[in-house]
Amino acid sequence: MHRDPVRDWLTLLTLSAITFICIVVWNVWVFDTVTQGGTIGTATTTTPMTFNRSSIDSIHAVFEKRATEEAKYVTGVYRYGDPSQ
């Protein structure tokens, strides 16, 4: 088998150039599609958001508890000794 380095390098450079051109064309097409408001691939379907009222109430209760504790620190109900003094 006869190896021709010039032929091999030309083949490699040609395939690299073709690949680079394909990548540039693909990116230009994607950019153009997106800037015109299109989507790439299948469009996603939107589902109505459902809220679980009990989970929202429990989150609200956590924040109320934290606000109550903060108020105790602010109003002086809780006293603590400052070790730096």
Is residue 70 assigned to a domain? Answer: no
pTM over cut 0.75: no
Domain that holds residue 29: 9-34
The answer to the question of residue 47 being in a domain is no
Q: Is residue 76 part of a domain?
A: no
In tens, the pLDDT along 20-43 reads 999 999 999 999 999 998 888 877
Q: Give pLDDT, residue 37.
A: 86
From CA 63, how far away is CA 29, in angstroms rounded? 49
Average pLDDT, the chain: 89
Report yes or no on 55 lying in a domain: no
User: b/e per residue, 10-21, with b = 16+ CB within 10 A?
Assistant: eeeeeeeeeeee
Structure tokens at 5: 């380095």
> Structural domain tally of the chain?
1
Residue 29 lies in a domain: yes
In a domain, 41, yes or no: no
**More confident: 48 or 57:** 57
